[in-house]
Amino acid sequence: MKNTLWITWDEHRRTNELANALDSELIIVNSMLPKILVRVHKIIQTIWILSMKRPELLIVQNPSVVLAFFASILKYPLKYKLIVDRHTNFRLGKSIGLNPLIIIITFFSNFSLKHADLTIVTNDYLKKLVKKKGGSAHVLKDKIPILNPKQELNLQGVFNVVVTCSYSKDEPIEQVIKVGQYLDNSTYIYITGRYGNKLKNILIPDNVIPTGFLPENTYVDLLNSAQIIMDLTSNEWCLVCGGYEAMALGKAFITSNTVALRNLYKDAAIYVIHDSKDISEKIKFTIENRYQYEKRMLNLKNDFIKEWNKEFEGLKRKIRLLY
């Protein structure tokens, strides 16, 4: 779109796809300085970029909360309109307490919600939250990614489940690992993501394989080579990326039993509570009925694309009104 600039401090698939869909110039601000200086360096770079580019419309990705905050301040002297594409980093269910850093981050977050001309969120739950904090919001779910698997991997199980994971606190990783105890050796669970020391002192069954961080091509090949994709969260407002990937590949999908996820995936997904026995039983059920759920997922994909296009057209109309 005319004279539109998108700045992010962290590369993300959603940002790349939306920037391309909106025909926006995308700048990823990086820094090789020591960690203590990175944010300051990125702030300085961002100010310089905005001073040189002088966009009429700026879009930023949040995270970073700090980027969204400074973009909300700079919009006034630099006279641009601001849209923040806000991910699910709202600290919902967490108290502020007396931690000075959390107090500052919460202030930054609320400031950007109130002062951005528009905040893009992924569901109605978050839209209501933004409005409650004095902002204006538009719902645009993640776009179904275009995934191009290159080869079929030789996985160890007859049936294989890939759990997409970032080892965040909302993910019941210990319960998932214990699932291996309730499955026979024909079924293997692959858990993606950089785990660091998160698995320290956890007994891992032989049929559960933490993969560590995978390059994008290998990750896509792994997803495509499995029969089932699973992505779990305790966050009521989170729609989980694994579901979009399951739609893209037409895979059976297991996820958490939350209202937001049920509203999105309807009868195309299998829902679990975060209990090892329940998860194992649902894996067995999915194996027996996976062709039915693959078909449902493909049908959902078609409906989802239509709904996403409608949401995207609505976003473009709101953007035109900002100029």
- Residues 137-141: contacts with CB within 8 Å, 24+ apart? 138/311, 138/314, 138/315, 138/318, 139/311, 140/18, 140/308, 140/311, 140/312, 140/315, 141/239, 141/264, 141/304, 141/307, 141/308, 141/311
How confident is the model at residue 238, as a pLDDT?
87
- CATH code for the domain of 81: 3.40.50.2000
Look at residue 1 in the predicted model and tell me its pLDDT: 62
Q: Is the pLDDT of residue 64 over 80?
A: yes
| Residue 312 in domain | no
Contact 5, 59 (CB under 8 A): yes
Question: In the predicted model, what is the mean pLDDT of the chain?
Answer: 94
If asked whether residues 129 and 194 sit together in one domain, one would say no
pLDDT higher at 150 or 92: 150
Domain that residue 219 falls in: 159-303
Quick check: is 266 in a domain? yes
**322 domain-assigned:** no
**253 and 118 in one domain?**
no
> What does the pLDDT read at residue 265?
96
Token pair for 238: 């989170």
Give the predicted TM-score (pTM) of the model.
0.86
Structure-token match 């489940």, residue found = 161
Q: Note the pLDDT of residue 94.
A: 58
The total of structural domains in the chain comes to 2
Tell the burial category of 255 from Cβ atoms under 10 Å away from its Cβ (0-12, 13-18, 19+): buried
